Amino acid sequence: MFQYATARVLALKHQTDLLADSRSFRTYRLHSYSIDRFNTQMVEADESSLNGFVLPPEKRGLLSVPWWHLKNRGRLKLFHESGFQYQPGFESLGDNTYLRGYWQSEKYFRHIASQIREELTRPDPVDEQNQKVLDEITSVMAVSLHIRRGDYVSNLRTMKVHGVCSLDYYEKAARHVADCIEGSPVFFVFSDDPKWTRENLKLPFSMRFISHNSVADPWPDLKLMSACRHHIIANSSFSWWGAWLNPSPDKIVVACRRWFADRKRNDQDLVPADWVRLGPA
């Protein structure tokens, strides 16, 4: 979603097609390629749409990069993200640019936020069970709360980079939201590990644990999260988008102060300035 939103800005600026390179999803195991199921304005980068352009190699190798430069002949410009902070050179990029990176900052696309929110929706009808949850969300002071575990816990390498948000963070975040609003909050809890969450998350507030949707198709949960009035997010792009897709200017969004366990990674532009950050520095 970050990659699409950022690339869409360039496509609109230069009034050209946005081409999506989905090659990496052939071997990606965490989730399937699904951005093409949204109302996105893009075409797949294949032989017919590239018009002779050559995509850069997926992985850098001794011969792959020189081969690409030889075949490309300077026609396609490669712009590589150098870190998680906003890249100042982005504004001056021209047409025929290949973006390589995560682009995890709304600074790239916040000036067209309403358009991005419209395009990052899906035309699927809401099923009966999710409609009941949506009806409840709109009838109470709903707060989405997302707990990300999955590979953050099971994969040691991923754990060292990301870490997980503590239960203390969620308790403090819930109290912060409750203190800032009028009325009694109802926390709608989402997680890729619902069993652990039910057993361990204890809040002195009303909670609804949402676990009926399939992890393989994240859109229904994303839609439910974005329908809530306020949000408590994990250090996860999934809950980031669940909060960001809510267009309300009055929403409260709480994020953890440290997005990465790896302190070398700069996350200053990852969380919007008007969101609240809690937790240890």
What is the residue-wise DSSP string for 199-243?
HH---SSEEEEE--S-TT--HHHHHHHHHSSEEE--SSHHHHHHH
Domain(s) labelled CATH 3.40.50 in the chain stretch across 128-278
Alpha helices in the chain (DSSP H): 2-14, 47-50, 64-72, 113-119, 128-139, 151-154, 156-161, 167-180, 194-200, 219-227, 237-244
3-state helix, strand, coil in the chain (%, to 5): 40, 15, 45
Eight-class DSSP state of 55: P
Write out the two tokens for 4: 């699409």
Eight-class DSSP state of 22: -
pTM comes to 0.92
**For the chain, what's the residue count?**
281
Distances (CA, A) of 185 to 39, 172, 180: 32, 14, 10
SS3 43: strand
Considering the domain delimited by 128-278, tell me its CATH architecture. Answer: 3-Layer(aba) Sandwich (3.40)
CA distance 146 to 188: 8
Q: Which residues 6+ apart lie within 8 Å of 40 measured at CB?
A: 4, 8, 119, 120
- Residue among 64, 94, 102 at smallest CA distance from 76: 94
β-pairing, 97-100 with 206-210? unpaired
Distances (CA, A) of 272 to 71, 150, 278: 40, 25, 14
Whose structure tokens read 């973006």? 99
Helices and strands (H, E) in the chain, number of each type: 11, 10
Residues 20 and 204 sit within 8 Å (Cβ to Cβ): no
* 281 residues of the chain, pLDDT tens digit each: 999 999 999 999 999 999 999 888 877 766 677 888 899 999 999 888 888 888 998 877 667 788 888 888 888 899 999 888 999 899 999 999 999 999 999 999 999 999 999 999 998 889 999 999 999 999 999 999 999 987 777 777 877 878 889 999 999 999 999 999 999 999 999 999 999 999 999 999 999 999 999 888 889 999 999 999 999 999 999 999 999 999 999 999 999 999 988 888 889 999 999 999 998 76
